[in-house]
Amino acid sequence: MTRIRSILLTVFATFFVVCSFSSPALSADPTEELRPTLDGIMAIITNQTFAGDEQKALRRSKIMDIAHRGFDFSMMSKLVLGRTWKTIDAQQRKLFEELFTKLLENAYIGKLEDYTGQVTKYTGERVKGKKAEVSTLMENNGLTLPVNYIMIDNGAGWKVYDIKIEGVRLLRNYRAQFKSIVKKEKFEGLVQVLEEKNAEFSNESTM
């Protein structure tokens, strides 16, 4: 549990702040599909209509609606499990994707709700075929953090399937942790860890 928590605390705080997306625009490049959504996500955070614990469910639902349009959670789930993905059936894959997505939601949005404002500067873009990397600098409370978005054009627009923060790939960190858990406790053990972690976040939110 501590291994997952350490990643959550150091990486998750920036994910949803700068990585939520609206519906892709036709023929837009990766940066231009990324840019407009930042204002939208911050509008949800700062809108008093969605403020307070009593509006938490609605607020999170709106953020996740954007995230599901801009993130390829299926690809993320497949990549983070690596070889294990090939050994599990369709039902297990669906369960894992739900748990992994919920973990991201619980961790990131919980941190996001404490933020009051950030500035994101776009510093570059590299496109190679159907893959791209958009480089940004996120400034918050006097700190500057390089955050790059790894994206793919899946035919319906550019979607994020990984994030690089200070040169470290998010999925690579997760993959190492999950691989270790699966090796010791099999896939069923990983499912239990994710369920417990999500339950822990849920309990914290009600305290």
Predicted pLDDT of residue 90: 97
Residue 72 φ then ψ, to 5°: -95, 85
List, in order, residues 6 or more apart from 124 with CB less than 8 Å away: 134, 135
- The whole-number pLDDT of residue 5 equals 46
Residues of the chain with pLDDT under 70: 1-27, 37-39, 108-117, 205-207
- pLDDT at residue 129 in the model: 93
The predicted pLDDT at position 57 comes to 85
Residue-level pLDDT at 13 = 47
| Per-residue pLDDT, 144 | 86
> At 189, which CATH number?
3.10.450.710
What is the domain extent for residue 118?
2-205
pLDDT at 38: 61
Question: Domains in the chain: how many in total?
Answer: 1
Q: What is the pLDDT of residue 76?
A: 95
CA separation for the pair 65, 88 (Å, rounded) = 28
Q: What angle do CA 67, 114, 161 make, to 5 degrees?
A: 25
